[in-house]
Amino acid sequence: MSIVVTGATGHLGRLVLESLLASGTAPGDLAAVVRDKEKAAELAARGIELRVADYDRPETLADAFRAGDRVLLVSGSEVGRRVPQHAAVIDAARAAGVERFAYTSILGGPDSELQLAAEHQATERLILDSGLPYTLLRNGFYTEVYTEALAPVLEHGKVIHSAGDGRIASASRADFAAAAAAVLTGEGHLNRAYELSGDTAWSFAEYAAELSRQTGRTITYDNVPAEVYGEILAGAGVPAPVVPVLVDLDAGIGRGQIAHVTGELAGLIGRPTTPLAQSVAEALASHPA
């Protein structure tokens, strides 16, 4: 039996493996499903088994899982293609007879009204229909989604969104990774859904104020109409199919769709979630001066 993490060279997948190792899981008990073996060379050097497979090539997934494995499906990043990709992974896991199957879904699950939720909702239905022993990790938003996009904010002195006074109960990727590791190694998590969010919900105005405090500069929040926000995203090179999804996301934030503080993330990781101020400080420390 191995603990298997898909998308293991991505931001979240790598952090899940790090959390598993930090919790005492032996490298030899871990397997990383990757598309590019060379990109994962550092994982192999640490003793983690590499299983090469591609979500878009179902035939490559036949050898990705073994009977008794505990599997984490890290959701794909390609909006619009994720349902068939996830279906291929689910089918392969079921055929292999894995012991448990965890999936990184979205906060709110079937109740979410976000366009971004549709593929997660379809994936959850596939998992439930598969008969696999499951855990649904309904992740809220990663603070890094915003703190990793600091360059234009610092250049123009503006945080630009169309979310009004809406709030985001985000946490760091490391927090969500630690929760996944806890579910993969612990007991009592089968056939459950966890609503995972940060301990404190913040607004874009508060985010701008925190950036101002830490940089000593004046950073403002410009709340623009949805159509203007869409034009800004398109002008910044965001792919055309993704623009309406992000505009809808801000509308959802304005409606409070991702403001829910559930306490379940802190409960799984056994500590408070990472505060916004800490995530901002870490991002600024790594940002070119």
Question: Count of H helices and E strands in the chain?
Answer: 12, 11
Listed residue (113, 55, 92) closest to 249, CA to CA: 113
Q: What is the pLDDT of residue 212?
A: 97
Query: Hey, what are 239's tokens?
Result: 């792919």
Alpha helix stretches (DSSP H) within the chain: 11-22, 41-45, 82-96, 118-130, 144-147, 150-156, 173-185, 204-215, 226-235, 243-254, 264-269, 276-286
Strand partners, 220: 158
Total-model pTM: 0.95
Q: What is the pLDDT of residue 289?
A: 59
In whole angstroms, what separates CA 257 from the centre of its chain? 16
Amino acid at 10: G
- Alpha-carbon distance of 7 to 170, in angstroms, equals 22
What are the distances in angstroms from CA 219 to CA 13, 192, 213, 227, 280? Answer: 33, 42, 9, 23, 13
The tens-digit pLDDT sequence of the chain (289 residues) is 799 999 999 999 999 999 999 999 999 999 999 998 899 999 999 999 999 999 899 999 999 999 999 999 999 877 778 999 999 999 999 999 999 999 999 999 999 999 999 999 999 999 999 999 999 999 999 999 999 989 999 999 999 999 999 999 999 999 999 999 999 999 999 999 999 999 999 999 999 999 999 999 999 999 999 999 999 999 999 999 999 999 999 999 999 999 999 999 999 999 999 999 999 999 999 877 5
For every residue of 122-137, DSSP letters joined together read: HHHHHHHHHT--EEEE
CB atoms within 10 A of CB 94: 16
In three state form, how does the secondary structure of 182-197 look?
A: HHHHCCCCCCEEEEEC
Domains defined for the chain, CATH in brackets: 3-140+172-196 (3.40.50.720)
